A = this chain, B = another copy of it.
Amino acid sequence: MAYKIKSRIWIESENNVLLGEGRVHLLKAIQNTGSLSKASKSLNISYKKAWQLLDSVNKSAKKPVTINSIGGKGGGGAELTDYGKSLILAFDDINRNCWAFLDKQLEKIKSL
């Protein structure tokens, strides 16, 4: 059976993690559901973990990635900013390209 090359990439800001695969999943789930609590349920993670992740993202980013509102109609909610959407697009693009790149590198260990 052949060896495989796996990878993980992430974006850091001042030595803090800004975006990784898990955080991107969370942001996409927020985009789909309109709230952090619904997003956490859809990802099968605790609300607290989701909140900590999102808090970390917003604290690491140069500009807000989500707008969170407490109380009011529906109890509140969370939605992505345009900046947040562009971050996700950039991450996904780089990640896909990285996979393609490593796929080519696979040649180098095919004979091993």
A interface, CB within 8 angstroms of B: 1, 3-14, 18, 62, 83, 86-87, 90, 93-94, 97-98, 101-102, 105, 108-109, 112
Among the listed B12, B94, B102, B112, which residue makes an inter-chain contact with A105, where contact means beta carbons less than 8 Å apart? B94
- Residues A108 and B93 in contact, CB atoms below 8 Å apart: yes
Cβ of A86 to closest chain B Cβ, rounded Å: 6
Question: Within the oligomer, what is the number of copies of this chain?
Answer: 2
Q: Given A86-B112, A90-B108, verify A6-B12 contact (CB < 8 Å).
A: yes
- Residues A13 and B3 in contact, CB atoms below 8 Å apart: yes
- Residues B94 and A112 in contact, CB atoms below 8 Å apart: no
By a CB distance below 8 angstroms, the chain B residues around A98 are 7, 98, 101-102, 105
- Residues A9 and B5 in contact, CB atoms below 8 Å apart: yes
By a CB distance below 8 angstroms, the chain B residues around A14 are 1
